[in-house]
Amino acid sequence: MEKPKRNENQSLNPEIPQPIRKNGEGFIDKGPRDVMRDMENPDMLVPPITDAGLVANLRFSFSDTHMQLNYGGWSREITVRELPIAKTLAGVNMSLTPGGVRELHWHQQAEWSYMIWGRARISAVNQNGRNFLADVGPGDLWYFPPGVPHSIQGLEGGCEFLLVFDDGSFSDLNTLSISDWFAHTPKDVLSANFGVPESAFASIPSQQVYIYQDTVPGSLASQEVASPQGTVPLSFKYELLAQPPVKTSGGSVRIVDSTNFPISKTVAAALVEIEPGGMRELHWHPNNDEWQYYLTGQGRMTVFAGNGAARTFDYRAGDVGYVPFAFGHYIQNTGTEPLWFLEMFKADRFEDVSLNQWMALSPQQLVQSNLKVGPELTDALHKTKSPVVKYPPYTYYPK
């Protein structure tokens, strides 16, 4: 058998990155290797010299997941099976054709969603017989509480969205569907329950439908059903992009949690924009793990895990990132386009701790002696103008 051939000359091509630091550490990689992936991951191929220790994988790309293809759309998911450290939240990326339906279903987990492009009609009925019907477009959110049955249908042009569930072991392929229940209920029972002859069920699906193709529905008004109990008291929809952003030096942020989207009691989120050259400041979160979804651009995140451990990952559109509870981290835009991402938490409130804020509000002599730094740093803490994405409520930095 012939020996597999390697490209012995690739090390001569300056376009091909090599695992060699500027200080000479490392050596050329003659392969086997995936050069395209190495080019996408410069900070994994040549990690910052400050990276060290054992930090679990904190990235997974939707491009590396199984695609569920149906007439009417597709879905793919990142759960603990794909990203084992991500125990608090799971994500599903779904697209529906014009008229394509994610069928009537429910699940044990809450569903928080962000519309990426296009429009959809969402429906739900709560435990008190109060119903909900709305159209959602780009930048809109929806939240269905656990156990509340619902559906999603693509409107003209179709749509794509991100679904986030408050349990890392959730799978969208393992929900409770109306077609599945009908298929597994004797027809005489269906007949007795609904008071119609068994023949009414002659054509029901024999198994879970999941996603199917239907026609684009008419106007919202044409589909509304008047419930004697009225509509849901807290809207399941929130227009996140319509919320004025908090502008910072280096980017912008829109925070959404149960304070401004009251139904969203188990998922808090921030939609973050980092300009080229900008950075989401060094910080951590005092309430839970962080689950990220990258929408546009390119960036890198370094996570500090304590005990000398830190690791850097490169992210791009379609990637999921993760930060374990309280681990320090920062995110840099490494590209030439704005970097947009969602950071999400299984929590009722968005909370973070800013390293700058902590240091600025601690005894300055303590900060200086602890870090062996002078007033140059501590004075700067009170008049920061660096390209750092800062979040409220840290508005008391002197201007």
Residues labelled as active-site residues: 343
Q: Is 111 in the site for Mn ion (CB under 5 A)?
A: yes
Q: Cβ of residue 87: shortest distance to Mn ion, in angstroms?
A: 17
Binding pattern to Mn ion, positions 52-91, x when CB under 5 A? Answer: ----------------------------------------
Q: Cβ of residue 220: shortest distance to Mn ion, in angstroms?
A: 20
Please, which residue, 46 or 124, has the CB nearer to Mn ion?
124
Q: How many residues bind Mn ion (CB under 5 A)?
A: 2
Q: Cβ of residue 172: shortest distance to Mn ion, in angstroms?
A: 7
Binding pattern to Mn ion, positions 256-295, x when CB under 5 A? Answer: ----------------------------------x-----
Please, which residue, 62 or 170, has the CB nearer to Mn ion?
170
Q: Is 103 in the site for Mn ion (CB under 5 A)?
A: no
- The tokens describing 324, both together, are 């374990």
Residue nearest to Mn ion (CB): 111
Q: Cβ of residue 101: shortest distance to Mn ion, in angstroms?
A: 12
Q: Cβ of residue 150: shortest distance to Mn ion, in angstroms?
A: 6
- The tokens describing 318, both together, are 């379609």
Segment interacting with Mn ion (CB under 5 A) among 70-78, 105-113, 370-378, 382-390: 105-113
Concatenate the DSSP letters of all residues of 354-388 into one string.
Answer: EHHHHHHTS-HHHHHHHHT--HHHHHHTTS--SSE
Please, which residue, 18 or 114, has the CB nearer to Mn ion?
114
- Strand segments, DSSP code E, in 196-256 are 211-213, 237-239, 246-248, 251-256
- Residue 171 burial (10 A CB sphere; 0-12, 13-18, 19+): middle
- What whole-number distance in Å separates Cα of residue 355 and Cα of residue 282? 6
Place of tokens 């590396």: 64
Q: Cβ of residue 42: shortest distance to Mn ion, in angstroms?
A: 22
Q: Cβ of residue 62: shortest distance to Mn ion, in angstroms?
A: 18
Please, which residue, 45 or 94, has the CB nearer to Mn ion?
94
HSE, CB side, 13 Å, CA atoms: give it for residue 281. Answer: 26
Instruction: Tell me whether strands 150-165 and 59-61 are parallel, antiparallel or unpaired.
Output: unpaired
- What whole-number distance in Å separates Cα of residue 248 and Cα of residue 346? 25
Please, which residue, 272 or 359, has the CB nearer to Mn ion?
272
How far, CA to CA in Å, does 56 sit from each of 38, 100, 309?
19, 38, 10
Q: Which of 59, 152, 163 is nearest to 111 (CA)?
A: 163
Contact 280, 274 (CB under 8 A): yes
Concatenate the DSSP letters of all residues of 211-224 into one string.
Answer: EEE-PPP--HHHH-
- The tokens describing 46, both together, are 């040549």
Q: What is the maximum span of the chain, computed from C-alpha positions, in angstroms?
A: 85
Please, which residue, 111 or 167, has the CB nearer to Mn ion?
111
Segment interacting with Mn ion (CB under 5 A) among 6-14, 72-80, 110-118, 389-397: 110-118
- What whole-number distance in Å separates Cα of residue 399 and Cα of residue 387? 14
- What whole-number distance in Å separates Cα of residue 123 and Cα of residue 100? 14
Segment interacting with Mn ion (CB under 5 A) among 104-112, 130-138, 188-196, 380-388: 104-112
Q: Cβ of residue 270: shortest distance to Mn ion, in angstroms?
A: 8
Please, which residue, 18 or 340, has the CB nearer to Mn ion?
340
- What whole-number distance in Å separates Cα of residue 269 and Cα of residue 347? 9
For CA atoms 218, 103, 264, 164, give the dihedral sign. Answer: negative
Binding pattern to Mn ion, positions 209-248, x when CB under 5 A? Answer: ----------------------------------------
Q: Is 167 in the site for Mn ion (CB under 5 A)?
A: no
Please, which residue, 293 or 378, has the CB nearer to Mn ion?
293
What's phi and psi for 329, nearest 5 deg?
A: -160, 160
Segment interacting with Mn ion (CB under 5 A) among 49-57, 108-116, 241-249, 268-276: 108-116
Residues near Mn ion (CB under 5 A) are: 111, 290
